A and B are shown apart, each in its own frame.
Chain A
Amino acid sequence: EPEVTQTPSHQVTQMGQEVILRCVPISNHLYFYWYRQILGQKVEFLVSFYNNEISEKSEIFDDQFSVERPDGSNFTLKIRSTKLEDSAMYFCASSGGTGLINNEQFFGPGTRLTVL
């Protein structure tokens, strides 16, 4: 069964450093998302991406964040200068190709980001 994959599973970085979190969505999906979950809290939407551009972003997704689909298979989230409060589990998700309406999102296993 096709699945969303994410690398690395755990990333430790120093405050102020740049990190790139990588995702490979399901191959025929067209809609891509990043969510995050701070330990013990709810899953929060960060950004949605369709047709090579951001379709919606949350207040969390400030200028330090960016997303890219560089090669038609990978979908990346970059945090330019990490802060302590960026420590969280980051989930990538994708949904299918015929339109949003009936399509559930499939989530990857997540990348745990720890900012020291």
Chain B
Amino acid sequence: AQSVAQPEDQVNVAEGNPLTVKCTYSVSGNPYLFWYVQYPNRGLQFLLKYITGDNLVKGSYGFEAEFNKSQTSFHLKKPSALVSDSALYFCAVRGRSSGNTGKLIFGQGTTLQVKP
């Protein structure tokens, strides 16, 4: 069965410091991987995706993520955190099998708190 794990409920970072939000996945075959962000009382906003190619993908607002096949991880990173990055972050996976309907499997979410 497909699954996504975000081992940290909350990550606290000082503004200006680098941040990492962790994600590991379990899916048969090569996955499509996504990060979404959710601000309070808002919907999910797409940040970035890994489909194929370069393991380091860059997305919106200075975020990037590194796909590591051997560790089945897709950690979200940013070199310098901003207070406005504080939000709930979801990692999601979608399989590549034929007949795949696009269903996303989400992790449980990680709250990022960036302190001034």
Contacts and interface: CB of A to CB of B under 8 A. Distances in A.
> Do A and B interact with each other, yes or no?
yes
Given A56-B103, A100-B100, A100-B102, A42 B108 contact: yes
Q: Give the most central of B45, B49, B92, B104: most A CB within 10 Å.
A: B104
Contacts of B101: 31, 48, 50, 55-56, 100
Interface stretch (B18-26, B36-44, B62-70): B36-44
Interface residues on chain A, size class: 20 to 34
Contacts of A58: 103
Interface residues on chain B, size class: 20 to 34
Contacts of A41: 108
A107 B43 contact: yes
Given A102-B51, A104-B34, A104-B49, A45 B44 contact: no
A108 B46 CA distance: 11
Interface of B: 32, 34, 36, 42-46, 49, 51, 90, 92, 100-109
Given A56-B101, A105-B104, 14 more contacts: A33-B104, A42-B107, A43-B44, A43-B90, A43-B104, A48-B103, A55-B101, A91-B43, A95-B102, A105-B46, A107-B36, A107-B45, A108-B43, A109-B42
